[in-house]
Amino acid sequence: MKGMEIPENTPPEEKSDNSRRDFIKQFSSLVAGGALTAMPGAKALAYTSAEEVKSLERWGYTYESAINTTFQEGDSHTQIKTLQRILNNHAFTISWDGAGSQDNETAYYGSKTKNAISLFQEAHELNADGVAGENTREHINVLAFPENKDLSWYEHKSNTEDLGYSGDLPEPQIRNLQMISRPTRHAVEGGAGKLLRALRYKSITSAVERRYNLPKGIILAMIMKESSGGATILNGSDDGGVGLSHMQPSVAREFGLKTYKDNNELRDTDHGKELRNLCEGHSWDLKELMKYDDRFHPVKNLDAVGRMLAAGIDGPRIAGLGPFRTALCRYAGRYNYKQYWDSLQHYMNLAQDSDAINKVRDEFNENNSELTINRKKGDFKKYLDSFTLDNYNYDLAKYERLPSHHTKNSTKILESLDQFIKR
């Protein structure tokens, strides 16, 4: 990152990440509100400052408590704010602006919360009655508070999952769609088009980020940088890279993914051309393409990216680099990682910028007055909701129940990240 460095070479903390998370869950709201800056008897946790808590809340998936009460439309309760935050973080969006939107969650369970819960229930094949009852709460709490299992950095490479395509949920029938910006051979031009396309996969990126305790939005940003949010957009140079976040064949194989014809080269233009022919021969259908190459499976691809970052954070350091920069360097290459990190910062900020998202929403709605989704009138929110639901056909619900793997450095990175992200 030009002009600034992340202070990663810090001494090991005396307390575990679990202790830190327990403290943060109990006191984050008080610290953020200025009501609590210190705590008698909390000397061992004194390094968790108000600024670190705010950074962790901005870039991490932390919640004050599990949802333990049944809620329905018309209810008011402090836990409803936590419920809304969990839903917003995982692409079951309450609202894109105003009350209930990201960072504007409320304690009221209105019609928008009911609709988000109904979408969550449909995705998880529950009774879609819009009531946060016992079964629904159990699924939500699994999403928010997963079991954590320690892995060595090397085990991340081989920790692949058996994920496929269930087809249990109907694919969205979208008609008269007018996308923002058209894709070229290399990418989609402009941030608005990239943001729109990447947001379609937020339910997957948030699950991966939460699983490995990675900064919120970093994998979404990598999608914007790598594929512009197009799951079948290949590297423009046909060098063999493919996936929502492009992975070269040898890297994919290193992290346990199947590649077309078992290719294991770092760059291979013949392989790239074969992939393009494969895509054209199957009409760019992900369900067919993933039978030949795991990188076309959106959950497998992005989980491998998460595992690669986790292995880089916990694994052997590159000389002169801390854990986070080591991870980025191993992904982007030593000579590209600073420029790459600058790009990721831009896209991470864009994905959390409500004004930018609302501009995309307004442009999308203006251009799509004739849009229909499943034979009903569509709009920006309904379009993204349809992808959130379809992502669960790729065994996302199964993936959400897998143990999380938090690296030993991850919480410290999240706590310090707010100081070093360019705004």
Q: H or E stretch including 135?
A: helix 134-144
pLDDT at 336: 87
Handedness of CA 411, 416, 421, 423 (dihedral sign): positive
pLDDT band, very low/low/confident/very high, at 379 (cuts 50, 70, 90): very high
Q: Residues spanned by CATH 1.10.101 within the chain? A: 78-144
Domain range 78-144, CATH architecture? Orthogonal Bundle (1.10)
Measure the CA–CA gap between 137 and 80, rounded to whole angstroms. Answer: 12
Nearest alpha-carbon partner for 399 in 218, 216, 209? 209
Predicted pLDDT of residue 24: 43
DSSP string, 12-25: PPSS-HHHHHHHHH
Q: What per-residue confidence (pLDDT) applies to 9?
A: 35
**Is 50 exceeded by the pLDDT of residue 15?**
no
d(CA 63, CA 24): 8
Q: What is the DSSP string of 380-412?
A: HHHHHHHHHHHHGGGSHHHHHTSPB---TTHHH
Q: Is the pLDDT of residue 16 over 80?
A: no
| Residue 63 pLDDT exceeds 70 | yes
pLDDT above 90: percentage of residues in the chain: 68
28-36 contact pairs (CB < 8 A, 24+): 28/53, 28/56, 28/57, 28/62, 28/64, 29/64, 32/57
User: Positive or negative, the Cα torsion across 315, 317, 322, 325?
Assistant: negative
Range with the poorest average pLDDT among 28-37, 258-267, 377-386, 413-422: 28-37
Helix locations, 178-293, DSSP H: 191-199, 202-212, 218-226, 249-254, 269-281, 286-289
Number of other residues whose CB lies within 10 A of the CB of residue 149: 12
- Asked if the model's pLDDT at residue 401 lies above 70, the reply is yes
Mean pLDDT across the chain: 86
pLDDT at 423 over 70: no
Sheet arrangement for strand 376-377: 174-175, 372-373, 376-377
Checking if the pLDDT of 14 tops 60, the result is no
- When pLDDT is averaged across residues 395-409 and rounded to a whole number, the result is 92
Hunting for tokens 């090991």 — which residue is that? 12
* SS3 call for 376: strand
φ, ψ of residue 304 in degrees (nearest 5):
-65, -35
**Does the structure show a pLDDT above 80 at 39?**
no
Q: Is the pLDDT of residue 247 over 60?
A: yes
Burial of residue 2 (number of CB atoms within 10 Å: 0-12, 13-18, 19+): exposed
> What is the per-residue pLDDT for 46?
38
C-alpha 230 chain-centroid distance: 15
